[in-house]
Amino acid sequence: MTITSLPPQVTPRQPFWLTHNQRTVLAEAIVTMTGSMLLPVGTRAHLEAVLTELGVAEARDVMWPVQTQQVREMARMPADALPVRMSREEVEAVTSMPTFPGALQGPLSVGVPA
């Protein structure tokens, strides 16, 4: 069986290059948000998916450091930057948080899937 399309509510994940500090700030904001507020199930799921992806990005760097470094250099990213993959819905959930760090607006607006 071949799957030819994704359900309409899901968009493919795109990489957003975030430095170590940006990833830390984003993770702290998500933990604060999910731990202190009652959220709609969909929003909570998207935020928890981003939190998981932050850990996965670190794990990919540990498992494949040479490949990550090569891609980082080709993309001209800082030495501590990693690609964090997020869907449009996940980016929207993150940027709509009251605890969203404004300094991340730029990095999360580049390449947002339409």
Give the separation between CA 21 and CA 44, rounded to whole angstroms.
23
* Terminal-residue alpha carbon distance, the chain: 28
The average confidence (pLDDT) of the chain is 86
* Domain coordinates in residue numbering, the chain: 19-109
pLDDT category at 41 given cuts 50, 70, 90 is confident
What residues contact 79, with CB distance under 8 A and at least 6 apart?
72
Give, to the nearest 10 degrees, the angle between helix 41-63 and helix 65-74: 100
Contact assessment for residue 30 and residue 51, using Cβ atoms and an 8 Å cutoff = yes
Q: pTM for this structure?
A: 0.82
Give the separation between CA 55 and CA 43, rounded to whole angstroms.
19
Identify the pLDDT of residue 13.
Answer: 86
Identify the pLDDT of residue 53.
Answer: 96
pLDDT category at 51 given cuts 50, 70, 90 is very high
Q: Is 111 left (phi over 0), alpha (psi -120 to 50) or beta?
A: left
pLDDT category at 4 given cuts 50, 70, 90 is low
